Amino acid sequence: MGVELKVVVFSIGNEEYGVEVDKVRTIEKMLPYTRVPKTPAFVKGVINLRGVIVPIIDLRSRFGLEETAYTSNTRLIIVAAADLEVGLIVDSANDVINVDSDRIEQPPEVVGGIRAKYLQGIVKLEQSRLLVLMNLQEVLNKSELIQLQEMES
């Protein structure tokens, strides 16, 4: 048996994704945000989260999927990556589950229209349920992180 990973499960459209719990700071309902000029389209702006300015990224837009209106289920998953907190806008946050690292398989080239570089792996859960693990390093890649850090200062 491999290492047991705790994973926050969230959804974008009909797909379920996961990010390791130790990278998640908090999960919030959608908050009003302030647009920031000259940022990539998927960077929606910044929020003030308990006195901290946090850039927010729409994962649908980041992955080149069609954007939808935010609903009462929309959540902001605040993650920490490279000494930076970033909010990820997702359709809903569903669960926290344990995943055995031995069950993580290499992702195919494309999953639900999303390129493999954004994915860390695929886990087959019960029945036909698949969980796609995010590669936060790529979702928040270095050059974009630098842009986001400049937004904060």
| 132, 18 contact by CB (below 8 A) | yes
- Look up residue 32 and give its DSSP letter: -
pLDDT for 92 equals 96
Q: For residues 12 and 93, what is the distance between their CA atoms, to the nearest angstrom?
A: 9
Query: Domains in the chain, please, with CATH?
Result: 4-152 (2.40.50.180)
pLDDT score of 26: 96
Q: Look at residue 56 in the predicted model and tell me its pLDDT.
A: 94
Q: Which residue has the tokens 């400049």?
A: 150
Angstrom distances, CA of residue 21 to CA of 3, 8, 43, 51, 116 = 14, 6, 23, 23, 21
How would you write the pLDDT of the chain (153 residues) with one tens digit per residue?
778 999 999 999 888 999 999 999 999 999 999 998 888 888 899 999 999 999 999 999 888 888 899 999 999 999 987 677 899 999 999 899 999 989 888 877 665 555 667 788 889 887 778 888 988 877 777 566 556 656 555
Predicted local distance difference test score (pLDDT) of residue 143: 65
